[in-house]
C-alpha cells in the first residue's frame, strides 16, 4: 500500500471512531448519570445530582449533603439497591415549590427511565431543601418499577 493510502485509511478510521464514540456518548445512560452527578453549579443541578446519586447509590451523595445527614444517607445506601437505566431517561422534572403565603416547600424531582430489567422505573424525591449548596433535608423517596 502506498504511504498516502495508509494515511487516508488511518484518518478515515479515526473519523469513524470519533463518530461512533460521539453517538455512544450521546445515547449512553451511564454518561448521563455521570454528567448529572458531576454537574452541581446551581441549586437545580445540585438537586438533580443528588437524586441521581440516590438512585444509583453513588458515594458523591455524601459530598452534597450536610454532614449531620450522613447517618440517614448511610441507611439509604445500605438498604437501597442501585437502579441503573438501560436507555436514556424519559423524564427529569424538578421544581422549587413555594406556597402563596411564601412558605418554601422545597424541590420535588421525578425521574423516569427503562431500567436494566427493561421495566419502567419511576423515582421521585420530594421536599429537598438546599442551604449553602448543600442538601439539608429531603422528604420521602418513592420508587416504582412497572
**Sign of the dihedral through C-alpha 122, 125, 126, 129:** negative
In 28-122, where does DSSP find H-type helix? 29-38, 43-56, 61-64, 70-79
Residue-level pLDDT at 104: 81
Domain layout of the chain by residue ranges: 29-145
Low-confidence ranges of the chain (pLDDT < 70): 1, 21, 23-27
How far is Cα 109 from Cα 54, in angstroms, rounded to an integer? Answer: 12
**Short-list 89, 88, 145, 90, CA closest to 117:** 145
Mean pLDDT of the chain, nearest integer: 86
How far is Cα 93 from Cα 27, in angstroms, rounded to an integer? Answer: 19
The domain defined by 29-145 folds into: Nuclear Transport Factor 2; Chain: A, (3.10.450)
Give 36-68 pLDDT, tens digit per residue: 898 899 999 999 999 999 999 999 999 999 999
Residue-level pLDDT at 10: 83
Residue-level pLDDT at 4: 81
Amino acid at each position: 500500500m502506498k504511504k498516502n493510502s495508509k494515511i487516508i485509511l488511518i484518518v478515515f478510521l479515526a473519523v469513524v471512531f470519533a463518530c461512533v464514540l460521539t453517538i455512544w456518548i450521546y445515547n449512553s445512560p451511564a454518561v448521563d448519570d455521570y454528567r448529572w452527578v458531576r454537574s452541581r453549579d446551581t441549586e437545580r443541578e445540585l438537586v438533580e445530582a443528588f437524586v441521581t446519586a440516590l438512585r444509583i447509590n453513588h458515594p458523591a451523595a455524601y459530598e452534597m449533603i450536610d454532614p449531620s445527614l450522613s447517618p440517614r444517607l448511610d441507611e439509604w445506601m445500605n438498604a437501597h439497591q442501585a437502579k441503573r437505566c438501560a436507555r436514556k431517561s424519559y423524564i427529569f422534572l424538578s421544581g422549587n415549590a413555594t406556597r402563596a403565603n411564601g412558605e418554601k416547600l422545597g424541590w420535588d424531582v421525578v425521574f423516569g427511565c427503562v431500567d436494566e430489567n427493561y421495566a419502567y422505573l419511576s423515582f421521585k424525591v420530594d421536599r429537598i431543601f438546599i442551604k449553602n449548596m448543600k442538601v439539608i433535608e429531603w422528604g420521602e423517596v418513592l420508587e416504582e418499577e412497572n
